[in-house]
């Protein structure tokens, strides 16, 4: 299988390892419902790839969908976490999809671009800096440092702290899936910022 390097030099498949399903069964159509389509109206590649396992897709939609639709975190901060995790995992698909969502919830392209650079490259407030540090620590060592945790505890309540770590972990899992399967960008989905 051909591979291509990510911006950090890690190899990624250059084509899908598992081709998204092309014929949507009634079961998968029922799971996907409405509102998760590309601009062309077709289901997103992530979902048609996971759809090879419909029972898992159904549970994934409920679990991951919770963070986007019913979570307690402010949408902007949630997207800072998802974008930074996507960058740390070098998942162009995750980063592209959440660039769209991030812009919709108030992130600027300068902020989105800064999430691909050292933490000092952006004009982040303390809350954003701490979220970025949390993501970097989770992605490098699977544990938030005591120093970062102490700051997080002054900014978020216990429910939000649970959700922050779960969002980061969930999107790390999703990024690994997308990278491994070689899921291709959907139409009109941006790649890495310039």
Residue 6 pLDDT > 60, yes or no? no
For the segment 15-41, what is each residue's pLDDT rounded down to a tens digit? 999 999 999 999 998 998 855 666 667
Whether the pLDDT of residue 151 is over 60: the answer is: yes
Provide the percentage of residues in the chain whose pLDDT is more than 70: 91
Q: How many domains does the chain have?
A: 1
Q: Where are the alpha helices (DSSP H) in 105-141?
A: 109-114, 126-141
The answer to the question of residue 107 being in a domain is: yes
Q: pLDDT at residue 58 above 60?
A: yes
Domain that holds residue 174: 75-181
Q: Residue 89's domain is classified under what CATH number?
A: 1.20.1290.10
3-state SS class at 12: strand
- In the structure, what pLDDT confidence band is assigned to residue 65 with cuts at 50, 70 and 90? very high
Does residue 44 lie in a domain region?
A: no
Q: What is the pLDDT of residues 79-125, one digit of tens each?
A: 999 999 999 999 999 999 999 999 999 999 999 999 999 999 889 99
Look at residue 5 and tell me if it is in a domain: no
Identify the pLDDT of residue 38: 66
Residue 49 included in any domain: no
How far, in Å, are 5, 32, 62, 194 from residue 92 at the CA level? Answer: 12, 23, 23, 13
Can you give the pLDDT at residue 167? 98
User: In the chain, what's the furthest Cα-to-Cα distance?
Assistant: 50
Q: Is residue 38 part of a domain?
A: no
Q: 143 lies in a domain?
A: yes
DSSP 35: S
Inside any domain, residue 20: no
Rounded to two decimals, what is the model's pTM?
Answer: 0.92
Share of the chain above pLDDT 90, in %: 83
Give a yes or no: residue 177 inside a domain. Answer: yes
């Amino acid at each position: 299988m051909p591979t291509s390097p990510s911006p950090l030099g890690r190899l990624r498949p250059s084509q899908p390892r598992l081709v998204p399903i092309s014929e949507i069964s009634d079961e998968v159509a029922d799971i996907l419902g409405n509102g998760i389509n590309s601009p062309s109206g077709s289901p997103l590649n992530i979902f048609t790839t996971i759809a090879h396992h419909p029972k898992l897709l159904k549970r994934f939609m409920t679990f991951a969908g919770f963070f986007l639709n019913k979570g307690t975190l402010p949408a902007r901060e949630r997207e800072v976490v998802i974008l930074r995790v996507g960058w740390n995992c070098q998942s162009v698909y995750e980063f592209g999809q959440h660039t769209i969502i991030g812009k919709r919830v108030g992130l600027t392209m300068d902020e989105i671009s800064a999430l691909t650079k050292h933490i000092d490259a952006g004009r982040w407030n303390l809350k954003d800096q701490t979220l970025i540090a949390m993501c970097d620590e989770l992605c490098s060592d699977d544990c938030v440092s005591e120093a970062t945790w102490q700051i997080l505890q002054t900014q978020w309540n216990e429910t939000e702290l649970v959700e922050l770590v779960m969002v980061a972990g969930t999107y790390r899992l999703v990024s690994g899936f997308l990278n491994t399967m070689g899921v291709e960008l959907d139409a009109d989905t941006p790649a890495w910022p310039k």
